[in-house]
Structure 1
Amino acid sequence: MRSLLLVVVLTLTACAQQPAKDDSLYRDLGEQAGITRIVEGMLLNIAGDARIVRHFENIDIERLRDKLVEQICVEAGGPCTYTGDSMEESHKGQNLTPSDFNALVENLQDAMTTQGVAIPAQNRLLARLAPMRAQVIDR
């Protein structure tokens, strides 16, 4: 009986010491609905951006939207699971340049601004997405 009690106490202690997941950025982005609006706004911005729109021709835009929403949700600390391909795989053969990447980021920032996302929250998201740059350019 003592060993069972010890196991229960240790289990409860371990659970209590787990840090809570920080979902503050997810909330700052407007949760699932806000992230969806941001992604849709970004894609609309890209559709009018002559610098990079050619990279989105012949792409299933609905699937891309869904995977981007998942990815941003995960990066923002939300309760989502990313089910898409790796960044390397999804950008293979596209020969994207730093200018292409920067244009996409500008479109994302414009979409966040349109949705009323505060600059500090925008910067937090961009900082979390920045490591993907190396996984996207020249693949």
Structure 2
Amino acid sequence: MNLRSMKPYLAILMVTVGLALGGSQSLQSPPDNSLYLQLGEREGIANVVEDMLYLIVEDERINHQFKGINVAQFHGNLTDQLCELSGGPCQYSGRDMRELHAAMNITNTQFNALAENLILAMEENQVPTGAQNRLIKHLLPLYPDIRHF
């Protein structure tokens, strides 16, 4: 194949590379906010967090870890964090997870209890099971920063 016969292929290759490098914004997919929408947007997330807080107060496995916290601040920060993690427009501005949990000595049982309360709160708010699983999947990378060994 000579250079002349390769020109159409080179043109296609250049257009493809240009698109891959961001040459056309119209072909890029928008950010995925489907989980955010399934959670009921910020209001739905705030309701889940509120119900989770009520469950925590009643849960003897973990309620002592939350004594003395600023409930309004905790509610706002966790709502923002879940909103951001789910693809929503919120921005978490709270403390770093590792720094925040460093002195808490959270056990696996306590970590699992909190996750259980989150799931129960999502169920109370009719969050679809698939959305629950997707949110948990987004939270799993935080585990090493929360549960120190």
TM range (shorter): 0.7 to 0.9
Instruction: Provide the C-alpha distance between the structure 1 equivalents of 2:28 and 2:80, rounded to a whole number of angstroms.
Output: 24
Q: 1:14 offset after TM fit, Å?
A: 4.0
Q: TM-score, normalised by structure 1?
A: 0.88
Do structure 1's residue 102 and structure 2's residue 101 form an aligned pair? no
Aligned to 1:117: 127
Aligned to 1:51: 61
Larger Cα-atom Rg: 2
Deviant stretches of 4+, over 6 Å: none
| Count of residue correspondences | 129
Are the equivalent residues in 2 in contact too, given 1:94–1:138 (CA < 8 A)? no
Across the aligned residues of Structure 1 and Structure 2, the Cα RMSD in angstroms comes to 1.5
Instruction: Provide the C-alpha distance between the structure 2 equivalents of 1:59 and 1:48, rounded to a whole number of angstroms.
Output: 15
Q: TM-score, normalised by structure 2?
A: 0.82
- Structure 1: give runs of 5+ residues left out of the alignment: 1-9
Q: Deviations over 1:6-33 (max 9, x none)?
A: xxxx9x9443344310000000000011
Instruction: Provide the C-alpha distance between the structure 1 equivalents of 2:135 and 2:40, rounded to a whole number of angstroms.
Output: 13
Higher relative contact order (CA 8 A, sep 6+): 1
Instruction: Provide the C-alpha distance between the structure 1 equivalents of 2:123 and 2:110, rounded to a whole number of angstroms.
Output: 20
Instruction: Provide the C-alpha distance between the structure 1 equivalents of 2:27 and 2:90, rounded to a whole number of angstroms.
Output: 23
Aligned to 2:25: 15
What secondary structure does 2:138 align onto? helix
Instruction: Provide the C-alpha distance between the structure 1 equivalents of 2:73 and 2:27, rounded to a whole number of angstroms.
Output: 38
- Aligned residue identity for 1:116: Q
